[in-house]
């Protein structure tokens, strides 16, 4: 399979599903969100291949396949957390239970690939390549306190969800990044300790870009989620999301990165980003 074919397949699939959704043809109208995201992932993977001669789906297939179940599993954790927070709810879902459950899993499986494909596109375009700051000093106390803070925030979210719900998008990062650092997995903390910050910026930007697409394609889908977190009605909206809610997407992307670095370390999928080819030693 060539990069051009994959990019063209994704683009054609997106145009095709968007047109059929606009004319309310099923299942494209009800499940438009799912069709749009998988089209995007294919198109961007092909584009990344054309830009860098390497792509996640074609060249790092094992890593891509590993992402899918853990992507669904990661988002399921947030769905469980939302039982307590009650920040979003779904409407317009397929009546048939088997189709509804399949839609959940297939849609959730797009989360990690979408963020990481977008991150790689940003890096392949050379954005943030020259970003540099003073190396971060990291102590054992820093790592310990970060993990304690992460678990404390999780407990506070469960006890006082209406107050601490915004911190759902950082608690996992506070726990997993120090853990990755300690065990020798790829770590943003270790990168910052070396004065390397471009990846942090590319991941956060990818999170914001994906956040905009998540909300836009959700808005145009029959099966969708709506928000109900405290004071959301006071803020202007962009699609279904109040504007201040977009702050969470960059930090969620960092959580996703830390999470999958831990998973890839456990399964022995070293350098799933193909860091050697890019000339970066970011362990």
Q: What confidence tens digit (pLDDT) does each residue in 58-95 have?
A: 999 999 999 999 999 999 999 999 999 999 999 988 77
Mean pLDDT of 238-259: 94
- Return the pLDDT at 27: 87
Could you give the percent of the chain with pLDDT greater than 70?
95
Mean pLDDT of 217-221: 89
- Return the pLDDT at 283: 52
Q: At 130, is the secondary structure helix, strand, or coil? A: coil
**Taking 80 as the threshold, does the pLDDT of residue 259 lie above it?**
yes
Mean pLDDT of 185-212: 95
**Taking 60 as the threshold, does the pLDDT of residue 200 lie above it?**
yes
Q: At 48, is the secondary structure helix, strand, or coil? A: helix
Task: Please state, in angstroms and rounded to a whole number, the distance separating the CA atoms of residues 217 and 127.
Answer: 25
* Helix segments in the chain, DSSP class H: 3-22, 32-52, 56-59, 61-85, 97-108, 111-124, 140-159, 161-164, 171-183, 188-193, 198-219, 248-266, 275-278
Torsion sign across C-alpha atoms 238, 165, 254, 9: negative
Mean pLDDT of 230-256: 88
> pLDDT higher for 40 or 130?
40
- Return the pLDDT at 233: 66
Question: Model pTM?
Answer: 0.93
Residue 209 confidence class, pLDDT cut points 50, 70, 90: very high
């Amino acid at each position: 399979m060539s990069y051009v074919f994959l990019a063209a397949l994704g683009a054609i699939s997106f145009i095709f599903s968007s047109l059929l959704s606009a004319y309310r043809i099923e299942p494209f109208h009800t499940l438009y969100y799912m069709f749009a995201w998988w089209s995007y992932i294919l198109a961007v993977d092909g584009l990344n291949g054309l830009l860098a001669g390497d792509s996640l789906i074609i060249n790092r297939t094992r890593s891509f396949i590993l992402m899918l179940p853990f992507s669904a599993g990661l988002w399921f954790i947030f769905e469980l957390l939302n039982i307590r927070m009650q920040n979003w709810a779904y409407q317009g879902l397929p009546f048939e239970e088997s189709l509804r459950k399949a839609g959940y899993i297939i849609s959730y499986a797009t989360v990690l690939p979408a963020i990481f494909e977008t991150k790689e596109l940003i890096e392949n375009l050379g954005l943030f390549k020259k970003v540099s700051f003073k190396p971060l000093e990291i102590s054992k106390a820093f790592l310990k306190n970060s993990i304690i803070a992460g678990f404390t925030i999780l407990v506070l979210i469960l006890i006082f969800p209406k107050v601490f719900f915004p911190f759902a998008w950082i608690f996992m990062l506070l726990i997993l990044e120090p853990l990755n650092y300690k065990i020798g997995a790829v770590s943003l903390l270790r990168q910052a300790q070396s004065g390397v910050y471009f990846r942090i910026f590319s991941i956060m930007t990818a999170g914001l870009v994906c956040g905009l697409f998540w909300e836009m394609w959700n808005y145009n889908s029959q099966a969708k989620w709506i928000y109900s977190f405290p004071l959301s009605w006071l803020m202007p909206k962009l699609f279904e999301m109040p504007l201040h809610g977009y702050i969470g997407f960059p930090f969620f992307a960092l959580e996703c990165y830390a999470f999958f670095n831990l998973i890839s370390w456990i399964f022995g999928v070293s350098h799933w980003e193909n860091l050697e080819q890019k000339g970066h030693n970011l362990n």
